[in-house]
Amino acid sequence: MLNIESISKGFGDQILFDNTGLQINPGERVGLVGRNGHGKTTLLNMIAGMDHPDEGRITCPSGYRMGVLSQKISFSKESVLKEAMLGLADHERDHYWKAEKILAGLGFSNPDMEKDPALFSGGYQVRLNLAKVLVSDPDLLILDEPTNYLDITSIRWISQFLISWPREVLLVTHDRGFMDNVVTHIAGVHRHKIRKIQGNTQKYYLQVAQDEEIYEKTRQNEEKRKKEIEEFITRFRAKARLANMVQSRIKTLEKTDTKDKLQELKNLEFSFNHLPFDGKQVLIAQNLNFSWDPETPLIQDFSLTVYPRDRVAIIGKNGRGKTTLLKLLSRNLESGSGELRLNPGVSLGYFEQTNVQTLNENFTIEEELINSHPDFDRQACRNVCGAMMFEKDAALKKISVLSGGEKSRVMLGKLLLSPLNLLLLDEPTNHLDIEACDSFAAALENFPGAVVLVTHNELFLHALATRLVVFKSDGISLFEGTYQEFLEKEGWEEEETSTAKKSKPAGPNKKKLRRQKSAIIAERSRVLKPVQKKIDKIENKIEKKEALTRSINEKLLEASMEQDGPGIQEFSKELAGLENEIENLFTDLERLTEELETKKLKFDTELTALER
């Protein structure tokens, strides 16, 4: 069990955490979410002991072991298997089969396990680091973006591995589908606090939206009520008979806390610059062939026609040729034979993770955008900087000081400036947070041009793909249909068909939605009716008391004119008592009205979310 108590952490003027905490209980698998730059990695570093909070403390039981996935590459053994076995506990040093099982799940073949780790790509080296963490069998697995560089079958394998993990997991990933499939709880870093709920990301974000809507509605109601109290005080301050009520409201005003308006949190604003295109075909590839080694062909006799508004997803295991095909289509690589034709009216935009190396380290972000698109003025480039969350002085940062994720955002910014009608994208979401991934998917959906995409994010595939280029062990083929249709008709060759079918996302069940809606409406009526009855009852009482007050005021006036001392004393005392009762009734009325509005807002928000 891990306990984070009242921690605060900041860097200069930037506050990341402000007197907040989190507890991870035995057996919980917790997904950590939050916008890039809001402190997720800092929190992981503090938990792992690589950083420390400014205030508060992080505790765990004696002997509690943590396994942390490192993105740093450093190997000391001559084979992949021996390197993976370094992660084994002391009493399991010779249990090589445990390391073999995990390596196989992560995509290493038996011959691969005997090779030198230095011979593998960066992606496979990160997988080896992941294998070392998994075989160490810690009490708490801390995984920061474990699905980067994994293909779909490996992602599915690690998903099942983590679901069966008997102890605790703390996971950060941009892949929302993977996170929802694995975790039992979500912990969100939001407005310098950490909030944990049981459930998936959809439940968490809905809860945050509801809470913020209620907060803002309450704040507006309190401001309105405060203004009414101030007007009452100003209006009746000079009237002696209402002095008690005025004084009471002054005290109420002094005790009222003023809620600050919530600062708007900015998301990445993706919107691709579309160049109109009237042709019937965007790209035609015929009988493409390519191989790095003549004896092992990678792509053979492949043909593809891309049409306007196409959403073509390229899928398959790593190392089969997905990125190579995209490079051939973008003309960043020459095919061995075959023909590739782009319509003369096509403007192509190409994104690849390694393209960040083309950025000029000496330029600022603003200069990089201006120099890549001289036709655009500075303001247009500044607008794109803002959309990529490099606002104001942040746009003046040097490329050399940016993180890998920030450099990827600069590359995406350069794409946003270009007038395009064909997008070729190779894993564009690896360095985006969940909110940014959602925004990016929406931008691709709204883009009027054609998209050819390499991704291992199954939510993206389900949401976008209308055609698939599938790399399998027996070659490359074109599947005319959606990703769900592919899973149902063909599936992944490494998995049983039943496993593939389990990944089918639940479609909307209209009857179930109607039942849920009816249940919410019934509950709304059941909860609100008693409160409304109390309000009606109090309003009737106030009306009667005020009528009685007017009657006694008339009697008091008559007694004053007749100089009836005992009558004046009796009526004044009765009037004071009535005014005190009316004041108490108004206080109850304010409380119940606020309670009613808060409950109404909660049910209305639930109904709105259901209708979406």
Identify which of 319, 295, 271, 402 has the alpha carbon closest to the alpha carbon of residue 121.
Answer: 319
Length of the chain as a residue count: 612
Helix (H) or strand (E) holding 3: strand 2-11
Predicted local confidence at residue 603, as pLDDT: 75
Give the bridge partners for 30, in sequence order: 170, 185
pLDDT digits (tens, 9 = 90+) for 64-114: 999 988 767 788 899 999 999 998 888 888 889 999 999 998 888 899 999
Asked if residue 131 lies in contact with residue 81, where contact means CB atoms within 8 angstroms, the answer is no
For the chain, residues with pLDDT lower than 50 are 496-508
Tokens 């009306």 label which residue? 543
pLDDT digits (tens, 9 = 90+) for 293-340: 877 888 889 999 999 999 999 998 887 889 899 999 999 888 888 899
Predicted local confidence at residue 314, as pLDDT: 95
Helix (H) or strand (E) holding 56: strand 55-59
Can you tell me the distance from the alpha carbon of 211 to that of 188, in angstroms, rounded to the nearest whole number? Answer: 14
Asked if residue 311 lies in contact with residue 441, where contact means CB atoms within 8 angstroms, the answer is no
> What is the amino acid identity at position 62?
S
Predicted local confidence at residue 610, as pLDDT: 63
CATH of domain 283-502: 3.40.50.300
Identify which of 532, 9, 553 has the alpha carbon closest to the alpha carbon of residue 239.
Answer: 553
pTM over 0.75, yes/no? no
Predicted local confidence at residue 609, as pLDDT: 65
Tokens 């003549």 label which residue? 294
CATH of domain 2-206: 3.40.50.300
Predicted local confidence at residue 418, as pLDDT: 86
